[in-house]
A and B are shown apart, each in its own frame.
Chain A
């Protein structure tokens, strides 16, 4: 029996009310828009997520996302596109982190912690003192349901740029994440790669700003890649799984947020976390439950430190 036939049967069995309930969200143009925008953002984040997870830059993602706040406020105050300000401040924070780390004896996590909260606090002060129509709540938690077409254009530009850079440089970026020394040994400019990856990170956060907000964008940057990493030993497969998990979460999260009347960004990230939890427990090779069952069996698959 084909899938279509099954669906047709299920529809026939269901009372008409239930069917209407199911398709109700799709009748609103703002929902359709939110669904495809969040799926697009999910794709961009999922792809970068694989690189960020493998490079060990999750905390850096957290830092950049918080550091964009003053940029958004300043951009609005000056009448510039919010993404421009966000990118400048996000990227600027990473430069500041790199500089302070190189010049002092502080460890990297301390430097990141100090600088991103500093930027964030500065943003809060600006947002509450500069008169503007910025809703702080929307910066923090996203507002994909109310996204304006102007914001969509900015999201598409930032996201498209990110995808283009990663697709063109994907092999070198992977080499950079895997073995920076070898990249250098074959004559690649590792400084350029470092800043390329950082600017792509900042761009991605700008992309996801309207959808997930700066607090939850970290999850979109870390969770899909981590989930996929537990499920695959090949980078190409990891990319596919990451994108699939992310897009599905964005779609389901946005959909359920309508019925639950709950925060869209929150629903998306909860969905992602559910997928992640399933992978942690039941991943074929690296799942906790799976490993317990096969203990004493194949030894060389156990993770080596």
Chain B
């Protein structure tokens, strides 16, 4: 029923779902954390902000962990090449992720304001670093990364950490930063005490406007300034996973897919609609503002993924070594089994996650944090 190439497309989409899940679910945690001292003027206000995310951020971060595991299982070549190639960047990212669980927990363990300030700045830094690094990494994909394979399929990399900070990649980092700041602020506007919510709504509007401008700018730059990759010669979509079995030409447009499949334009339209929705709905009753910023996140990632398709990680050093959907996956058997497992468990996950959010529904008020004893 499931051909190898169909399974590959499904798994490309599933990784997209996980990535979007991570960006939407954990993204607002990062946004709120990064804005902790902008939105929260005193300890009580910061406690309100933290309590809007503390009960659920842990589960949200599993989207990232699961993303790592799923890429390992479904796209082992991508997992190996990207994480080892981006070694120092990955290390920075890991440190940012490691600081979070202890930051949230340890912060509450001592009343000393200096102690709390230290952890606040750790959480702020961690939020900013993750948002930036993820965006910069994504931007680098369009520029190609300096790796090649030998006959044993051992990858070698010719570039350093600072080589990643190319102008387009930096712009992409700023897109990610503004997008997730808007998303985090929308969350705070929905969940935090009204005093803080008003401040948050203002920031959400500004950030989403900045995001919109940068997103359009990145799109124009990508269309006119950055050469795209394309598989030259016959495309073998159901063959064995060996990246060296194909030829790749550089120079086409990253928008080729958009030209041949007009439906692709739905993705950037979603992103636009989301950013406009934030302007309209944030700060009002209901979850329209948060829903809109989430839509912008989903639309942005989808736009980028569709532009890259079928490429996962292009190589600037040896284009033929580029990893594509057709040659970087696990075997058909593994993809099939993992699809079965995913089909069973993702709905269950969504079910109990939804239940936990329902239990924790409602605004966190200043009055509540003044009274309650935090057991966390």
A and B: bona fide binding partners: no
